[in-house]
A = this chain, B = another copy of it.
């Protein structure tokens, strides 16, 4: 039987809220066994870019990563946010190590080709779509007692850092490690889980499988931005991840939230 490993993905909003962050770090430190933290940091990057006089360009709700913005996200995600998390986890007794996809070549990507948005070709810039994650190297680090803290940056093996979505980083890391471990992937966000009634925080759907998802999708219970999130979770489960938990950032102990499994 494989050893258990927990991967927690935490968004930028939590990282920037001292109270939520302190709670998350405490809870993450208390997670038993092998673990990995994957973080975002979007709002902090936007703030630093503003202070540097660099405009944030968005198309269809998505950030364009031009050369200036790539420098900012490399500084903020790979430096500021990542190293502060690492130092604070060290203080909690977790032997954390910050990693981008470039470090030890753990996650390689290629630059996203221009996409058609509303009939117009849009170049998203230095955005990386993942080609492969090196689960063997990650497992080797983890077996040395290290807890990887992964920033949402990858590389193209041609010398360029690329900006990659943090949810994607979490799922590719989870899938790559599922050959070595019994993996639980936890997406922490601002709700208590997937809600049957968006106005009722108590209406958390405890378990979602493919048939349950299809049922709730057909009757409109699950809609909007939650659809791709659950599709991605189901894809991770199909690719070998044992279970995906969608829960509050302050409730990563596995006792609440929505479990997505086979």
Q: Which residue of chain B has its CB nearest to the CB of A159? A: B91
Q: Which residue of chain B has its CB nearest to the CB of A160? A: B87
Q: Mark A134-161, 1 if CB is under 8 A from B, else 0.
A: 0001001100101000000101011111
Question: Given A91-B157, A155-B90, A159-B88, are A100 and B80 also a contact pair (CB < 8 Å)?
Answer: no
**Secondary structure call for the A interface:** helix
Interface centre among A78, A104, A161 (most CB of B within 10 A): A104
Count of A residues near B, CB < 8 Å?
42
Stretch of A69-77, A186-194, A225-233, A244-252 on the interface side: A69-77
The answer, yes or no, to whether A42 is at the interface (CB within 8 Å) is no
Set of chain B residues within 8 Å of A76, measured between Cβ atoms: 75, 79
6 A–B contacts, CB within 8 A, in A order:
A76-B79, A86-B155, A90-B157, A90-B159, A91-B158, A91-B159
The 5 closest A-B pairs by CB, nearest first: A79-B79, A91-B159, A75-B75, A78-B79, A75-B79
